[in-house]
Structure 1
């Protein structure tokens, strides 16, 4: 076709309320009931074909851990080799497919996600990851469709950037090529949308993908993969490979590895980086390493802040989805003069927070993801209870008799370097340090130096000079910095997300900066009237 193609302008998908009596509430309940009844056996998908290995893993409902929701087949070395071959075969065509045809696949996927698959994806996220209806809606349905729509928009913007034509008689162009080889996408359990985006964004740019979802995220990821295939994604462009991490080193050392798109723990990403470094001479190209990892996200409170605003942001930022967000507020610095009011408001709000089965829409929190996470949190809370420098001011109760439930817990410490002020816990635990009001800037510097991470952070103040000081002194402490808002909830198109330091490569998912990592530029110069002789004027005699 001829024509300068314009893509539909992206808009953030509206969030449904699921209020009592709403149509979406009843539709979601039906989907929850249906998914419970399926007892799925989830296959791998390699080259568009379903593969069953017989090596099975179980998917249990976190808030009802006695119930096996589904089983899934695990990829081993042989299946991984098959996936590399399928990816290589698909690359020959997909890498040459015109961009607007690639775009149409993912625009259709966005329509499927926000339309006929909406309740299925939300219900799968609720059951497999113990998210409330609201938390599932804002990310599984809305954020994933936003990633895809804004991705198409950003791709076209990238391609439209072309060089100038200063030299006479020449035409200069930039060719945005896919990477040579496959991209290895490794996704976490906590966001269905992240798994979809880690695989879709490199594929949108013409790459082929090997996707390993976290074992505790396989259930919802399976449905995302089904959406991609129904949207018309060609066989082998994205290969779905649940399995054990120890088997995946085969992919990290393969000569065709073109890049790694990762979200997960800092330790895991560092191991990936070391593996790639140790094998750097074996690759055809230098692999692109893009990672978003841990966080120890802060709320810095000034004496001019509104205590009710602070408390509300802490409750939402620290305890929505059980604190299982890399951006969750996990440490707070509060002036002594304000603590009485903030503590009172925290107790008032947290006393109304209900924890339990997320299929009961009255519950604000569900269960943490699995036994390992539960034990880490339980032992950390016990550590605080028995430590002279810490006091539990709210919560502290854990119960795994039916599900992996951890009560929202607020810990007050007298030591700004207390272990729980520094270490990521990934759960509903907020540690608070009280500082002398006159030591505000000193405490800003303390906040900056305490944690190795640099993902998200907030400043709460009405004093503009206090905000300016925080913005300056905490410049490198957070890749997403919020003023009078919670540390979570970045919106695609508005707040590109990512952090540096031990929090990752800060390539900003959902924005053009991330998409640029999955393309390799070729400069083309076409000379319209080539010279016919080698001589220059300076060679002529006087």
Structure 2
């Protein structure tokens, strides 16, 4: 029984540690990296109360050091998907009935565990498993994940307090219950925080979850799962499994208790999911919620009034941090003719100054791309541009897979604004620029809006405020997250809710109340204190 209104105030964003010379966090992180590399992890699936080891093991390797074995994870199959769903449904009633303050405390404790003793482990597994440098790991696997947990608890607390008006003699109220059935969370390799947020945001609302991470993110995903268990998450609420996508979809999307999917990944996969759900709609007990954040071909539009240093810095960081493997990474840029020479010079100088190598060397700004499939795809784009008369490689362009999946940050100058690398998502350290006539800015606005099917992030760089206003209005539908005089990456929970529309997803804004509403089902309750005893209304009488 509850005896109080448990309100959780808005938190502060988790401070980003610097890992500067001589800092205690740098020393500790290096110790943990050495510790993690000194042992081979045996990684089970987590289904209900069981740690499931199938014996069908696959090895995990740092993308920047493919000869090293971090450990092995146990592959699941179709029966394990069924087991995960059964475990989730078995846990559903008790989890939904658990009081909100006790549900919330589990996720707040998990946030505190990550902020303290597990911080170097979340960062370390992310650095080694996903080839992120210390800063990129810190803002993702520590700060953003902590923020998701704390801010979502606050937002859900605010939602629960929202109640309708009541008239005289009537008491109206809303209750927010979880969805009927289980939620499927499918998470990508590139952000540990997304891997943590997609299952926990749904679970926080009282739902039970089947969680399938990308195989290339399993090393950090299992660390987060262990933290959730230590924080008190009941068995079966979130079930972590390692299966192939088609196997997962075959079971989940034909199950009558499928209630929703929380997805981040490619547009093609999401489209196929949606199609399958549509074909199976008659099988479900309720219409499933479909929430997805997919691809991007994110732009940086530079006006003739821009500061060249601001533009070049936004491109160097926005295009090449984490090797361009961010949904929000700047991958196409429109540069005015009056600034082109200076911006290109600064881009070339910046790329020449980048150090590239392993994550253990903290002086490396660039590390490896995630795997061989990604390496080959990106390398093909670069090689095709090298041979094409419609494009010039003006910086970078080298690739090396001897020790790891290393691709040098590359700038392609396209002579045609519809050149393939201006249009297609590459998801790697490749930036394509197009130099336009500085007097034809309005034409370029139209070009930016129509070149790509995506609408995730974008930036305008300008000192002229009328141009800032014009671009903000004209590009209203071109980006769900729009930046002024900044790079198009680095959205912060509670500050810039993240998501895009068009082919970039459902724009349900992770890191805000909007996303949490998707995992709730509301019931309106009206209580009448003095109910009528006669059907007749006054208008029926003539006298």
TM-score by length of 2: 0.99
Partners of 1:8 and 1:35 in 2: CA distance: 37
The Cα shift of 1:537 comes to 2.2
Kept in 2, the 8 Å contact 1:259–1:287? The answer is yes
SS at match of 2:106: helix
Partners of 1:443 and 1:38 in 2: CA distance: 54
The Cα shift of 1:541 comes to 5.2
- What is aligned with 1:321? 322
User: Displaced runs of 4+ in structure 1, greater than 6 A?
Assistant: none
Kept in 1, the 8 Å contact 2:148–2:511? The answer is yes
The Cα shift of 1:534 comes to 2.3
- What is aligned with 1:211? 211
- What is aligned with 1:125? 126
Alignment of structure 1 residues 457-476 onto 2, 5 Å: 457-476=458-477
- What is aligned with 2:502? 501
Partners of 1:71 and 1:356 in 2: CA distance: 24
The Cα shift of 1:540 comes to 3.6
Kept in 1, the 8 Å contact 2:7–2:158? The answer is no
Alignment of structure 1 residues 40-79 onto 2, 5 Å: 40-79=41-80
SS at match of 1:438: coil
Partners of 2:455 and 2:133 in 1: CA distance: 28
Matched, 1:304 2:310: no
The Cα shift of 1:49 comes to 1.4
The Cα shift of 1:242 comes to 1.3
- What is aligned with 1:389? 390
Which deviates more from structure 2 when the two are superposed, residues 513-522 or residues 245-254? 245-254
Which deviates more from structure 2 when the two are superposed, residues 335-344 or residues 51-60? 51-60
- What is aligned with 2:230? 230
Partners of 1:15 and 1:109 in 2: CA distance: 18
Aligned-residue Cα RMSD (Å) equals 0.9
Matched, 1:199 2:213: no
Partners of 2:164 and 2:97 in 1: CA distance: 22
- What is aligned with 1:96? 97
May I ask how many residue pairs the two structures share in their alignment? 541
Partners of 2:36 and 2:243 in 1: CA distance: 22
Which deviates more from structure 2 when the two are superposed, residues 137-146 or residues 167-176? 167-176
Alignment of structure 1 residues 103-502 onto 2, 5 Å: 103-165=104-166, 167-249=167-249, 250-502=251-503
Kept in 1, the 8 Å contact 2:468–2:484? The answer is yes
The Cα shift of 1:533 comes to 2.4
Kept in 2, the 8 Å contact 1:42–1:222? The answer is yes
Partners of 2:191 and 2:154 in 1: CA distance: 22
Which deviates more from structure 2 when the two are superposed, residues 273-282 or residues 66-75? 66-75
- What is aligned with 2:537? 536
The Cα offsets for residues 286-307 of structure 1, whole Å up to 9 and x where unpaired, read as 1100000000000000000000
SS at match of 1:35: helix
Matched, 1:524 2:525: yes
SS at match of 1:62: coil
The Cα shift of 1:347 comes to 1.8
Partners of 2:541 and 2:482 in 1: CA distance: 64
The Cα offsets for residues 177-224 of structure 1, whole Å up to 9 and x where unpaired, read as 100000000000000000100000000000000000000000000001
Kept in 2, the 8 Å contact 1:441–1:469? The answer is no
Partners of 2:11 and 2:51 in 1: CA distance: 33
The Cα offsets for residues 32-76 of structure 1, whole Å up to 9 and x where unpaired, read as 011112201100101131011122222111001111211111221
The Cα offsets for residues 233-262 of structure 1, whole Å up to 9 and x where unpaired, read as 111000001121121021122111100000
Structure 1 unaligned regions, length at least 5: none
SS at match of 1:61: coil
The Cα shift of 1:82 comes to 1.1
SS at match of 1:173: strand
SS at match of 2:38: helix
Kept in 2, the 8 Å contact 1:48–1:239? The answer is no
The Cα offsets for residues 344-370 of structure 1, whole Å up to 9 and x where unpaired, read as 111222221111111100100100000
The Cα shift of 1:168 comes to 2.1
Partners of 1:96 and 1:406 in 2: CA distance: 51
The Cα shift of 1:103 comes to 0.6
The Cα shift of 1:8 comes to 4.3
Partners of 2:267 and 2:38 in 1: CA distance: 37
Partners of 1:538 and 1:24 in 2: CA distance: 77
Kept in 2, the 8 Å contact 1:62–1:404? The answer is yes
Partners of 1:271 and 1:359 in 2: CA distance: 39
Partners of 1:9 and 1:347 in 2: CA distance: 43
Partners of 2:313 and 2:291 in 1: CA distance: 33
Partners of 1:251 and 1:67 in 2: CA distance: 35
